[in-house]
Amino acid sequence: MATTLFEELVSCSGLAPLLAADVMNRVCAREGVEPATLTREQLMAVLPAIEKGLRLYLGPVALKMSMQRLRALATPAPSPRDPRSHLR
């Protein structure tokens, strides 16, 4: 079974799964994004709103770590044909 980007978002949020799903659904609804079809570009665009939502539940250190994970999730992996992909 394939994991959706929304499921990965919930998993990386730093919150308990049920709370995370609720918070992320509310953020997506406010931002006009459909969770089932969430793209990396949309995720990148809504990161500020997600951070605002997570700030209610996470302390500063946990929030920083969560946002680092979410930014990495929103950043597409380099294409195999991308000349920079060999640089690691």
For residue 26, the one-letter residue type is R
Pinpoint the alpha helices (H) of 2-88.
Answer: 5-12, 17-31, 40-55, 60-74
How confident is the model at residue 2, as a pLDDT?
57
Residue 87 belongs to some domain of the structure? no
**Does residue 79 have a pLDDT over 70?**
no
Residue 12 belongs to some domain of the structure? yes
Q: Above pLDDT 70, what percent of the chain?
A: 88
Residue 48 belongs to some domain of the structure? yes
Task: Give the tens place of pLDDT for each residue, 26-36.
Answer: 999 999 999 99
Residue 83 belongs to some domain of the structure? no
Task: Give the tens place of pLDDT for each residue, 35-56.
Answer: 999 999 999 999 999 999 999 9
Instruction: Please give the average per-residue pLDDT across 63-78, as a whole number.
Output: 92
Residues in contact with 7: Cβ distance below 8 Å, sequence separation at least 6, in sequence order = none
For residue 66, the one-letter residue type is S
Q: Distance (Å, rounded) from C-alpha 22 to C-alpha 76? A: 25
Residue 86 belongs to some domain of the structure? no
What DSSP state is assigned to residue 37? G
pLDDT range class, residue 1, cuts 50, 70, 90: low
**Does residue 78 have a pLDDT over 90?**
no
Query: Domain residues for 20?
Result: 5-75
Residue 68 belongs to some domain of the structure? yes
The residue written with tokens 């950043």 in the block is 75
Residue 71 belongs to some domain of the structure? yes
What is the number of structural domains in the chain?
Answer: 1
Residue 43 belongs to some domain of the structure? yes
